[in-house]
Amino acid sequence: MKTVNVLWTRGWDSTFRILQLSTKEIIIQPYYLKDNRKSEKKELDTIYSLTKEIRSLASTRCILNELITMSVSDVDKDKDISKHIKRFVKCLKNLIKDTLAPNTSG
């Protein structure tokens, strides 16, 4: 059976993705990144509650593995992604600068 990794934040998008995948004959491996946010306990409590509910739905065909939690500081940065983020930020700064610069033509 295929395993699908999902970063589950308790937000609408990741919860929708979990629900969407739950109807398929796959294994879902959910992950949660901890970084000491005030909302962390509520997020985790909600995820655990949703996990229980999803497992009990008649439409559930997946195996929903236990949530794996990791500290953000324990996740290695991807060099390629970091490079593209720096490039994007540079382009964004230039766009903002060009957009907000006074119009001198005319």
Band (75; pLDDT cuts 50, 70, 90): confident
The pTM of the full predicted model, rounded to 2 decimals, is 0.73
Separation of alpha carbons 17 and 82, rounded Å: 25
How does pLDDT run across 6-51, given as a tens digit for each residue?
999 988 999 999 999 999 999 999 999 999 889 999 999 999 999 9
Separation of alpha carbons 82 and 49, rounded Å: 34
The backbone torsions φ and ψ at residue 46, rounded to the nearest 5 degrees and listed phi first, read -65, -45
State the first-to-last Cα distance of the chain, in angstroms, to the nearest integer: 65
Mean pLDDT of the region 80-85: 88
Helix segments in 1-106, DSSP class H: 12-22, 40-56, 79-100
Task: Select the more confidently predicted residue: 7 or 78.
Answer: 7
Of the CA atoms within 13 Å of residue 102, those in its CB half-sphere come to: 2
